[in-house]
């Protein structure tokens, strides 16, 4: 399909983030927002703002003067293409953390990324003071199996430093032929010596949805990203859990922790799988075309089944849309920690020459009218992951980024929740000091937040059963 004629909504997280293995995860653990045809030029820009024609021409003249001086006098020859692309990078990156220019290759890689399949290491990274910081490894990939951790700082690739290397170049170094080895040198929190990790590159197939049955016939669904297969994966997981429980599914836990977001259309579809009717999300922008509303299609897959949603500071964008909608509709109880706070919408506009620009064009709002931009979504029951607060090498929330757009045009807090079960008051806000370290081989017994979610889900299921018996 010609992307210039395709319209596709989505959400995004951090600016200048890439997935090692294929490339740009252009708005941080990003996926495209909307594809629209665009042929941008000076004339059209000037025509759009007739009152500012004189100023526009003045600044364009200044740009032309600087362009020509650099082209003529810079110490080494530099192509006009390089100069213009550098200027576009600066123009868009200076607006906010999520607007950016993508050249032809980055744009293509972004489109590949949204399909949920790519080659490489399976590691999400971003730039951090001239080095490369790991956002998170993807489950069941070379990076996760090699023990790469969120927050790790990659200082060298195959023995060569990455300091001062553009993020896109570092990503290209980490890509390569399948089954070829790569060695990363890592600086890890709490460890004085460099950590050296060697792994083989693979074709990465992202399994974005995983499910299993927890005790008390409570279904657990982990959604790691909102790629094109997210909604289909959720539906498949619900069907599998129903079958596994022989039709008895007392409650469901939806785990959106460290889910960076993705396609907005998938967020709407996933939220619509659990909300019978009403608004899911709306957007408001400078132009009418950027102000829209999405409603639930009217088919809750598990009507009446209690839900708990797990979130943390890594839950962003589409994850916040889903959790915010479920919270506002009182369809689920949110547990964990405050989400990232990425409440802006980006439009991806293809450009002449094969590249594209990603431009922030709207803010999104939950059904109750909340703008979570620079604020995040607060859980109904706060539960920390660890006894001591985890240190972060880079930004833990949207408000840690530079020149973010403001929170405006909406309410700041969720409506009160009088429907919380009595057990909510007894849930500890953090694990005990001697709680075991998380072990992926034994997730239920070492995941404190999940253990508390199971307690709450079980209590909600019992409460729902009592109400049903009382009606009968």
Question: For residue 400, what are its two tokens?
Answer: 């840690």
* Marked catalytic residue, from 282, 319, 342, 447: 342
User: What is the C-alpha end-to-end distance of the chain, expressed in Å?
Assistant: 54
Identify which of 291, 416, 389, 406 has the alpha carbon closest to the alpha carbon of residue 341: 406
Distance CA(166)–CA(251), nearest Å, equals 47
CB proximity list for 90: less than 8 A, separation 6 or greater: none
Q: Look up 317 and say whether it is catalytic.
A: yes
Identify which of 189, 187, 208, 185 has the alpha carbon closest to the alpha carbon of residue 198: 185
CB proximity list for 414: less than 8 A, separation 6 or greater: 324, 327, 328, 366, 368, 370, 377, 378
Cβ-contact 466, 269 below 8 angstroms: no
* Marked catalytic residue, from 317, 339, 344, 371: 317
**CA-based torsion, 139, 140, 141, 145: positive or negative:** positive
> 20 forms bridges with which residues in the sheet?
123
DSSP 336: E
* Marked catalytic residue, from 33, 96, 258, 328: 328
Q: Look up 328 and say whether it is catalytic.
A: yes
DSSP 288: G
Q: Look up 342 and say whether it is catalytic.
A: yes
Cβ-contact 306, 461 below 8 angstroms: yes
Which residues in 151-193 belong to E strands, given as ranges? 153-157, 160-161, 181-187
CB proximity list for 14: less than 8 A, separation 6 or greater: 27, 28, 29, 30, 97, 98, 126, 135, 260, 316, 342, 395, 401
> 408 forms bridges with which residues in the sheet?
none
Q: Which active-site residues does the annotation give?
A: 317, 328, 342
């Amino acid at each position: 399909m010609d992307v210039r004629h395709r319209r596709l909504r989505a959400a995004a997280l951090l600016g200048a983030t890439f997935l090692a293995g294929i490339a740009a995860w252009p708005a941080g653990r990003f996926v495209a927002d909307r594809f629209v045809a665009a042929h941008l030029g000076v004339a059209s820009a000037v025509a759009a703002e007739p009152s500012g024609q004189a100023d526009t021409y003045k600044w364009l003249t200044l740009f032309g003067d600087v362009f020509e001086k650099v082209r003529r006098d810079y110490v080494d020859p530099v192509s006009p293409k390089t100069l213009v692309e550098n200027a576009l990078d600066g123009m868009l990156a200076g607006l906010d953390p999520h607007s950016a220019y993508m050249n032809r290759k980055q744009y293509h890689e972004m489109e590949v990324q949204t399909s949920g399949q790519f080659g490489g290491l399976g590691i999400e990274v971003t730039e951090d003071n001239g080095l490369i910081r790991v956002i998170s490894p993807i489950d069941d990939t070379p990076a996760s199996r090699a023990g790469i951790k969120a927050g790790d700082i990659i200082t060298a690739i195959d023995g060569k430093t990455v300091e001062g290397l553009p993020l896109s170049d570092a990503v290209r170094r980490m890509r390569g032929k399948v089954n070829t080895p790569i060695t990363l040198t890592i600086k890890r929190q709490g460890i004085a010596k460099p950590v050296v990790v060697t792994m083989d590159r693979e074709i990465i197939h992202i399994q974005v949805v995983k499910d299993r049955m927890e005790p008390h016939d409570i279904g657990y669904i982990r959604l790691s990203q909102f790629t094109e297969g997210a909604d289909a994966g959720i539906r498949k997981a619900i069907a599998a859990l129903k079958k596994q429980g022989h039709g008895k599914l007392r409650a469901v836990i939806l785990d959106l922790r460290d889910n960076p977001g993705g396609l907005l259309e998938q967020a709407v579809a996933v939220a619509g799988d659990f909300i019978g009717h009403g608004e899911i999300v709306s957007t408001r922008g400078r132009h009418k075309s950027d102000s829209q509303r999405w409603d639930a299609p009217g088919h809750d897959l598990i009507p009446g089944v209690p839900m708990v949603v797990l979130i943390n500071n890594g839950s962003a964008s589409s994850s916040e849309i889903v959790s915010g909608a479920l919270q506002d509709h009182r369809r689920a109880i949110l547990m964990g920690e405050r989400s990232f706070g990425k409440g802006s919408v980006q439009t991806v506009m293809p450009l002449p020459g094969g590249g594209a620009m990603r431009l922030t064009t709207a803010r999104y709002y939950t059904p109750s009218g909340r703008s979570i931009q620079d604020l995040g979504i607060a859980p109904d029951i706060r539960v920390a992951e660890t006894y001591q607060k985890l240190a972060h090498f880079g930004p833990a929330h949207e408000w840690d980024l530079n020149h973010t757009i403001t929170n405006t045009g909406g309410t700041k807090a969720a409506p009160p929740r009088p429907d919380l079960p009595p057990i909510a008051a007894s849930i500890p806000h953090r694990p005990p000091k001697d709680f075991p370290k998380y072990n992926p081989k034994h997730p239920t017994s070492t995941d404190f937040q999940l253990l508390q979610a199971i307690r709450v889900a079980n209590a909600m299921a019992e409460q729902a059963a009592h109400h049903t018996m009382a009606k009968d």
